[in-house]
Amino acid sequence: MTRNENDVIISLMSRVVSPFIMLFALYVIFHGHYSPGGGFQGGTMLAAAVILVRLAVGNDLAQKQFPRAWATPLGSVGVLIYWGTGFTALVFGGNFLDYKFLPLAMEAAWRRHFGILSIEVGVGLAVMGILTAIYDDLLEGDPRG
Amino acid sequence: MRGRVLSLAALAGFAGLLIYASFGLPNRGDASAALNGPLSPAGTPNAATHYIRNPERDAKTPNMVTVILADYRGYDTMGEETVILTAGLICFLILRRTRSRP
């Protein structure tokens, strides 16, 4: 994280690879209905893409990709999406987290389909934010940081 | 030395007991085992059978793991996510330097 900051090959390759890792992570999240994957796995890959750039180009320069101050709020937003989906179902007359009652204009099974998608996105954002935040918090104690 | 021999013997005995007990378990995917049937020994419907048969009808999702994780067991996943957030916040509280200290 400090020694190779000026290495052109490592810096360039990580900057090229990082968006593709993010793209594949989005695929893992949104294709979780049909293949192995889901919010936890995709969120971990999103965090891996962010941490890769932090490791390769140094923590200060990597703030331009994903600022340190966003990480913990992003995790909270993910948890809020999950709880918000649950409470939306509650407000519209169902039980907590009963996606059948979400206000979407389609049949009940498809409402549950998209309720699952909504909470997978929430889980993905939360895992990405928290893993990045833990990395940044650990780096804060590093005198070379 | 004697305590060590005793504890090793106790460990070996316990391992032997567990291995012996594992022979009584049903095989994985054994359709005739009571756990895998549509009804439990008490005559009530088994949850696992419901989860395997109905995801496509309930949520239009072929991947039953996703439906179990996010829909049938939604409370559990909500707890996991909240645990992750709590762990992150605790790392924040322990590791970040406070401004008041010089």
Domain boundaries, chain B: 2-95
For B45-75, the pLDDT digits (tens) are 888 888 888 888 988 889 999 999 999 999 9
A131 vs A45: CA distance, rounded Å? 10
Q: Read off the pTM.
A: 0.82
pLDDT, average across residues A42-61 = 92
Distance of CA B59 to the CA centre of its chain: 23
Question: Which of B64, B85, B94, B95 best tests the A interface by mutation, with the highest count of A CBs <10 A?
Answer: B85
For A73-85, the pLDDT digits (tens) are 999 999 999 999 9
A44 vs A41: CA distance, rounded Å? 5
| Closest approach of B88 to chain A, Cα-based (Å) | 5
Q: Does B69 touch chain A (CB under 8 A)?
A: yes
Q: Are A78 and A21 in contact (CB under 8 A)?
A: no
B72 vs B51: CA distance, rounded Å? 8
More confident residue, A4 or B97: B97
Domain boundaries, chain A: 8-140
CB contact under 8 Å between A97 and B74, yes or no, is yes
A134 vs B91: CA distance, rounded Å? 6
CB contact under 8 Å between A122 and B85, yes or no, is no
Query: How many A-B residue pairs are in contact by the CB < 8 A criterion?
Result: 96
CB contact under 8 Å between B95 and A79, yes or no, is no
**ipTM confidence score:** 0.85
For B5-49, the pLDDT digits (tens) are 999 999 999 999 999 999 988 888 787 887 778 888 888 888 888
Measured between beta carbons, the chain B residues lying within 8 angstroms of A109 are 57-60
| Closest alpha carbon to A53 in A91, A113, A8, A13 | A13
> What pLDDT, on the 0 to 100 scale, is given for residue A57?
87
Question: Which of B64, B78, B90, B96 best tests the A interface by mutation, with the highest count of A CBs <10 A?
Answer: B78
Partner residue facing A72 (CB), from B57, B60, B88: B88
Partner residue facing B85 (CB), from A34, A36, A79: A79
B101 vs B99: CA distance, rounded Å? 6
- Is pLDDT at A145 greater than 50 in this prediction? no
Q: What are phi and psi of B60, to 5 degrees?
A: 55, 40
Q: Are A56 and A10 in contact (CB under 8 A)?
A: yes
